[in-house]
């Protein structure tokens, strides 16, 4: 019997991924109506057990508070299902008659869901619902410190899904979760996509697994309170957001930034909401206990109450204080409390004016929250737009508590527990991740135009361009074979063609070419003689004609023709790239392909060319 936890975990992962994959093969044949009925059953179970699961999470992890966790469970079991109700995710999802394109949803397969300790039950509900809504199976890997409440939530989701007709192994939970087991889950051949929530280490592991992955970056949310804001309402909402689940949501407010002109009003409102103000010594103590030398939040302070954090730091916080406030005087490493704190500790920073406040908020995001979330409280629309334009964040929230706004409780962004931070933070998306991210779309596209109709201007000008190039090339080769040197000149611009005779076009091109090369064209041939006799078509004067006149003597005797020279050997044209089709064309045309030391030859092309001796190394 295996005793090593990592080996047990890895073996469990292999077994449960195989079970989930087998269930997915059955589930992928379900209709949209069947899938929606299963999702509704899961959502109903989540709503009915929201409080019980919240209590389990607080008891097991010691993080956050029950009321906030109930709200997060309802976000995922109530708001999310209502938002995605009617969303087409199975089979034919869109038919665009005008564009002649039909879109068909294709589920990805098995979703590897990595769960956090901060939001264990709500995230399990969320990832189960979005995975099945997209037609997928899901295998959850709980955080070891939240295994009990997470596995209970997943079991609840599975029972509800099966009661509505889902295959019995469609939702799986790793009961013996370990880092080795989680890595095995992410790298399993039958894992199709990773939905990762947790610290930066697990997110990096997801992105380096070789599988498509949705992860998130850290949040360090600045809150700009503008002079145009309703100060009392703004501060009230900041306190609501910062105290929500004791700051465990990564989009919780971290620092208020405001102009000095409204400093006293903001401080007065914070005091009115019973915020505890730390003095300079207490702020230094907070820094020591909240953050390590790398400015990463210490585990013992994550999601703790203000009173517990004060006790750890060595000072007492009144029982009615919802948050701790500490004033800072800058942003960056020299001011550690300007970093993410994952606790109900709020920094405040006052600057000269709005422009300086925008600069400070941008600095806070660059210090530790790129791409995530920022907030502005204001009524001046121009300042709101300026703030949104400047901030390197993909959720710019206006006049709302931050965690409630970013997750879709108070705003119309998609309800979600996975908030993408975009390419600037190394994430695959900047969206709130939902069901549409966990499926691919197949497109059936009908022909609506011919190639000539697709490029009308190019098609119209092509014949003249080709004719010019072909004639010039032919004349150059002819003159070179006769030893006539030409003076190069730029080719004439190609005018838009008109309907003319092809012989006229060719003659015109030849004349222009000879003029450009300083070669006089042959004199025009007259079709009449100098007498009054009728012309003889296409015969020069002096040939047998109807008159007795003799041809005029030339002014000077023509120069003797140059001695014949050996035709110049045409230069070898070295090909830069050779593919299999190039070799097949050369075979059909019975020609060689000349390559040089820098020529790229595909393996298939080289194999075929070697069979028929097509490639020739050109000598420079």
Do residues 144 and 176 make contact, with C-beta atoms less than 8 angstroms apart?
no
Residue 150, number of CB atoms within 10 A of its CB: 30
What mean pLDDT comes out for the span 440-467? 79
The CA angle 517-523-525, to the nearest 5 degrees, is 145
pLDDT in tens, 294-337: 888 999 999 999 999 999 999 999 999 999 999 999 999 999 99
Higher pLDDT, 119 or 542: 119
Q: Which two tokens stand for residue 296?
A: 């990463």
pLDDT exceeds cutoff 70 at 492: no
* N-terminal to C-terminal alpha carbon distance within the chain: 71
Residue 590's pLDDT is what? 86
Task: Give the dihedral of Cα atoms 352, 356, 362, 365; nearest 10 deg.
Answer: -10
Question: Which of 109, 74, 198 is CA-nearest to residue 146?
Answer: 198
**Residue 66: CA count within 13 A, CB half-sphere:** 9
Superfamily per CATH, domain 5-215+440-444: Aldehyde Dehydrogenase; Chain A, domain 1 (3.40.605.10)
pLDDT in tens, 22-46: 999 999 999 999 999 999 999 999 9
What percentage of residues in the chain have a pLDDT greater than 70?
80
pLDDT in tens, 243-295: 999 999 999 999 999 999 999 999 999 999 999 999 999 999 999 999 998 88
The CA angle 124-158-417, to the nearest 5 degrees, is 15
Do residues 425 and 135 make contact, with C-beta atoms less than 8 angstroms apart?
no
Residue 513's pLDDT is what? 52
In our burial notation (b when 16+ CB lie closer than 10 A, e otherwise), range 197-229 reads: bbbeebbebbbebebbbbbbbbbbbbbbbbbbb
Catalytic residue flag (residue 374): no
Residue 576's pLDDT is what? 80
Q: Work out the angle between the directed axes of helices 263-272 and 231-243 (0-180°, nearest 10).
A: 50
Q: Give the Cα separation of 354 and 351 in Å (integer).
A: 8
Domain boundaries along the sequence of the chain: 5-215+440-444, 221-409, 575-617
pLDDT exceeds cutoff 80 at 567: no
What percentage of residues in the chain have a pLDDT greater than 90?
68
Residue 303 φ/ψ region, left for φ over 0, alpha for ψ in the -120 to 50 degree band, beta for the rest: left
Residue 461's pLDDT is what? 56
Do residues 109 and 21 make contact, with C-beta atoms less than 8 angstroms apart?
yes
Higher pLDDT, 3 or 59: 59
pLDDT exceeds cutoff 60 at 507: no
Pick the CATH number of 221-409 from 3.30.70.1880, 3.40.309.10, 3.90.180.10, 3.40.50.720: 3.40.309.10
Q: Give the Cα separation of 402 and 335 in Å (integer).
A: 22
Q: Give the Cα separation of 247 and 255 in Å (integer).
A: 12
pLDDT in tens, 152-206: 999 999 999 999 999 999 999 999 989 999 999 999 999 999 999 877 777 888 8
Q: Give the Cα separation of 124 and 142 in Å (integer).
A: 9
Residue 529's pLDDT is what? 45
pLDDT category of residue 549 using cuts at 50, 70 and 90: very low
Three-state SS for 226-293 is CCCCCHHHHHHHHHHHHHHHHHCCCCCEEEEEEEHHHHHHHHHHHHHCCCEECCHHHHHHHHHHHECC
Q: DSSP of 333-381, one letter per residue? A: TTBGGGS--SSSEEEEEEESSHHHHHHHHHHHHHHHTTEEEEEEE-S-H
What mean pLDDT comes out for the span 370-388? 97
Q: Enumerate long-range contacts of 5-11, CB under 8 Å, 24 or more apart.
A: 5/176, 5/178, 6/178, 6/179, 6/180, 6/181, 8/176, 9/174, 9/176, 9/177, 9/178, 9/180, 9/181, 9/182, 9/184, 10/180, 10/181, 10/184
Lowest mean pLDDT among 270-284, 367-381, 412-426, 561-575: 561-575
pLDDT exceeds cutoff 60 at 399: yes
Residue 436, number of CB atoms within 10 A of its CB: 18
**Residue 406: CA count within 13 A, CB half-sphere:** 30
Lowest mean pLDDT among 147-151, 401-405, 499-503, 584-588: 499-503
Residue 532's pLDDT is what? 43
**Phi, psi dihedral angles at 26 (to 5 degrees):** -80, -40
Residue 540's pLDDT is what? 44
Residue 570's pLDDT is what? 61
pLDDT exceeds cutoff 80 at 1: no
pLDDT exceeds cutoff 60 at 10: yes
pLDDT in tens, 401-447: 999 999 999 999 999 999 999 999 989 999 999 999 999 999 999 99
Q: Which two tokens stand for residue 460?
A: 């119209």
The yes-or-no answer to whether 5-215+440-444 and 221-409 have a common fold is: no
pLDDT exceeds cutoff 80 at 388: yes
pLDDT exceeds cutoff 90 at 499: no
In our burial notation (b when 16+ CB lie closer than 10 A, e otherwise), range 571-598 reads: eeebbeebebebbeebeeeeeebbbeee
What is the residue-averaged pLDDT of the chain? 86
Q: Give the Cα separation of 432 and 403 in Å (integer).
A: 13
Identified catalytic residue from 149, 151, 173, 250: 250
């Amino acid at each position: 019997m295996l005793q090593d936890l990592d080996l047990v975990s890895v073996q469990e992962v292999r077994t449960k991924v195989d079970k989930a994959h087998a269930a997915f093969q059955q589930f992928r044949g379900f209709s949209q109506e069947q899938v929606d009925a299963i999702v509704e059953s899961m959502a109903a179970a989540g709503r009915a057990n929201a409080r019980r699961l919240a209590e389990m999470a607080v008891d097991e992890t010691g993080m956050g508070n029950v009321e906030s966790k109930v709200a997060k469970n309802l976000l995922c079991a109530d708001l999310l299902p209502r938002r995605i109700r009617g969303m087409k995710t199975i089979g034919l999802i869109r038919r665009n008659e005008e564009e002649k394109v039909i879109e068909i949803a294709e589920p990805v397969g098995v979703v590897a869901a990595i769960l956090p300790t901060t939001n264990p039950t709500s995230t399990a509900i969320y990832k189960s619902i979005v995975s099945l809504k997209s037609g997928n199976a899901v295998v959850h890997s709980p955080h070891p410190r939240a295994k009990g409440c997470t596995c209970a939530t997943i079991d609840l989701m599975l029972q509800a899904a099966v009661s509505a007709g889902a295959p019995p192994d469609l939702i799986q939970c790793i009961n013996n979760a370990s880092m080795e087991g989680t890595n095995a889950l992410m790298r399993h051949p039958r894992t199709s996509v990773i939905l990762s929530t947790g610290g930066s280490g697990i997110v990096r592991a997801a992105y380096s697994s070789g599988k498509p992955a949705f992860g998130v970056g850290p949040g360090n949310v600045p809150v700009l309170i503008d002079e145009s804001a309703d100060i009392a309402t703004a501060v009230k909402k900041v306190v609501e957001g910062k105290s929500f689940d004791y700051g465990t949501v990564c989009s919780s407010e971290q620092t208020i930034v405001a102009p000095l002109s409204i400093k006293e009003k903001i401080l007065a409102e914070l005091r009115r909401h019973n915020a505890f103000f730390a003095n300079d010594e207490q702020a230094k103590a907070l820094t020591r206990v909240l953050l390590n030398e790398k400015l990463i939040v210490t585990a013992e302070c994550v999601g703790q109450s203000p009173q517990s954090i004060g006790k750890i730091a060595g000072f007492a916080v009144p029982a009615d204080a919802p948050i701790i406030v500490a004033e800072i005087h800058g942003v960056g490493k020299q001011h550690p409390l300007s970093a993410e704190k994952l606790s109900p500790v709020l920094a405040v920073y006052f600057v000269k004016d709005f422009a300086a406040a925008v600069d400070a908020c941008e600095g806070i995001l660059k210090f530790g929250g790129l791409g995530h979330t920022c907030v502005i409280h204001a009524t001046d629309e121009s300042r709101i737009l300026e703030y949104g334009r400047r901030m390197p964040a993909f959720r710019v929230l206006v006049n709302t508590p931050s965690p409630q706004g970013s997750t879709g409780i108070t705003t119309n962004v998609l309800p979600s527990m996975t908030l993408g931070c975009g390419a600037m933070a190394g994430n695959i998306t900047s969206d709130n991740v939902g069901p549409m991210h966990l499926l691919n779309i197949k497109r059936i596209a009908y022909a609506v135009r011919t190639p000539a109709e697709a490029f009308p201007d190019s098609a119209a000008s092509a014949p003249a361009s080709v004719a010019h190039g072909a004639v010039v090339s032919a004349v150059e080769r002819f003159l070179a074979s006769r030893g006539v040197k030409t003076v190069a000149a730029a080719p004439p611009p190609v005018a838009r063609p008109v309907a003319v005779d092809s012989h006229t076009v060719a003659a015109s091109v030849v004349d222009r070419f000879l003029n450009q090369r300083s070669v006089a064209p042959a004199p025009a041939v007259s079709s009449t003689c100098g007498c009054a006799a009728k012309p003889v078509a296409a015969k020069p004067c002096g040939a047998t004609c109807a008159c007795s006149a003799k041809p005029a003597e030339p002014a000077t005797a023509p120069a003797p023709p140059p001695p014949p020279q050996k035709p110049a050997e045409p230069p070898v044209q070295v090909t830069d790239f050779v593919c299999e089709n190039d070799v097949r064309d050369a075979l059909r045309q019975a020609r060689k392909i000349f390559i040089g030391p820098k020529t790229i030859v595909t393996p298939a092309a080289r194999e075929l060319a070697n069979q028929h001796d097509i490639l020739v190394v050109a000598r420079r």
